[in-house]
Amino acid sequence: MGAEVVIEGLSKSFGSQPIWRDVSLSLPPGEVSVMLGPSGTGKSVFLKSMIGLLKPDTGTCVVNGTDIVRCSEHKLYETRKLFGVLFQDGALFGSMNLYDNVAFPLREHTKKSEAEIKRIVMEKLAMTGLSGAEDKLPGEISGGMRKRAGLARALVLDPEIILCDEPDSGLDPVRTAYLSQLLIDLNAQIDATILIVTHNINVARTVPDNLGMLFRKELVMFGPREVLLTSDEPVVEQFLNGRRLGPIGMSEEKDSATMAAEQANVEAGHHDGGTEDVRGVVPQIQPTPGLPERQGERRRKDRVMQILHTLSPEAQEGIIESLSPEEQQHYGVRPHQLVGAGQHAGGGAAGSTMPLPSEHHGELPAEDVANRPGDRAAESDSGRHTDAQWWSNQ
């Protein structure tokens, strides 16, 4: 299972210019989180602070019990081995070919034989679609390939935490979609905690379990994806819709006069820049069929259902609708229940053919939670299987 990252009260400034203040969040283990923010809000600085490349002024960032901000150098290097980081341009070593680049962490940190290194490197290169390019130098390949090679290198040590700095920048939409799928598949396979820093709306809407947004030198929000996707916070709404109308301006902020003028323009029929209204919760990307189920997704469902009552009605609605009818029954929730529409959509019919689980309080046993119907049938008589077993049985 991936490591948990708990950040509390983190602040960073360059000279007298604050970058962000008092950022507190925790990346739940094994879940995929996305940090959004307009250009220049210090997203990359945030990422670098998390791995101790930059030293924040105050606050703590605890990974596996080690405070990255204040620990000794030796401890820092040890903790960093848990991380796999994908930099904006891949940050490959220009003097080495792709093979040596990907093999570098293995050669530095492990005593594996060359044959074993070769096997692992080839596997990771194949995973990122780079088979056959291992002899190329980073200068000889396209930006997209560099990025994928950077990801391959970040993965060779089987990291528990993967940080991606704008995996989509400079990539076409198709490759971005592939990369998103790759990250989700990875999460399903190695159950790593993933944080993606981006300003791509599509990635933000379809990939993560949790979403956060940095703006005006602070963390505006961080929480389950449904909360931000249904949020009526002006900044979040503007950003997720890619409109000009709202508090974000060409420079970081805009004044009220500009806002009023723009509002007037839009009311007079001038286009606001957004291509379509994309509010609301869209389905999340699922692992490629054949891969094990994402453990993080299971845990997240438990976690989110526990805090469900604290969320906004729209977010609750989104979360409940994203559950399968069986899951809705497990958790004892129904769609539209909260807004009082009183429809018993789907859930009742499917539920009548399935045995109802016994009642639980707090966390459910693993076999009762978030299984797809197929899983349940396979598991019903033999009790608790690990996913690997289940997968190999198929």
Partner 1 sequence: MTTAAPPRKIPGLGMLRETGKLFALGLDVARGFFQRPFQLREFIQQAWFIANVSILPTILVSVPFGAVIALHLGTLTRQLGAESFTGAVSVLAVVQQAAPVVTALIVAGAGGSAICADIGSRTIRDEIDAMEVLGVSAVQRLIVPRVLAAMLVAVLLNGVVSVVGVLGGYFFNIILGGGTPGAYLASFTLLAQLPDLWISTIKALIFGFIAGVVASYRGLNPSGGPKGVGDAVNQSVVITFLLLFFVNFILTAVYLQVVPPPGS
Cβ 188 to partner 1 shortest distance, Å: 24
Of 37 and 150, the one with the shorter C-beta distance to partner 1 is 150
Cβ 79 to partner 1 shortest distance, Å: 8
Cβ 83 to partner 1 shortest distance, Å: 6
> What angle do helix axes 143-155 and 114-127 make, rounded to 10 degrees?
130
Which token pair is 243? 């409109």
Helix (H, G, I), strand (E, B) or coil at 85: strand
Of 104 and 390, the one with the shorter C-beta distance to partner 1 is 104
Of 91 and 350, the one with the shorter C-beta distance to partner 1 is 91
Cβ 69 to partner 1 shortest distance, Å: 15
> What angle do helix axes 98-109 and 114-127 make, rounded to 10 degrees?
130
Cβ 105 to partner 1 shortest distance, Å: 5
Of 48 and 199, the one with the shorter C-beta distance to partner 1 is 48
Calculate the CA dihedral of residues 147, 135, 119, 167 and round it to 10 degrees: 0
Of 53 and 62, the one with the shorter C-beta distance to partner 1 is 53
Of 76 and 291, the one with the shorter C-beta distance to partner 1 is 76
Residue 354 and residue 324 in contact, taking contact as beta carbons nearer than 8 Å: no
CA torsion sign, 120 to 156 to 188 to 361? positive
Can you give the binding site for partner 1, defined by CB under 8 A? 16, 48, 51, 53, 77-78, 80-81, 83, 85, 87-89, 91-94, 104-105, 108-109, 150, 153, 157
Query: How crowded is the C-beta side of 109, counted as CA atoms within 13 Å?
Result: 15
* Phi then psi dihedrals of residue 299, to 5 deg: -60, -40
Cβ 104 to partner 1 shortest distance, Å: 7
Residue of 230, 101, 91 lying closest to 166 (CA atoms): 91
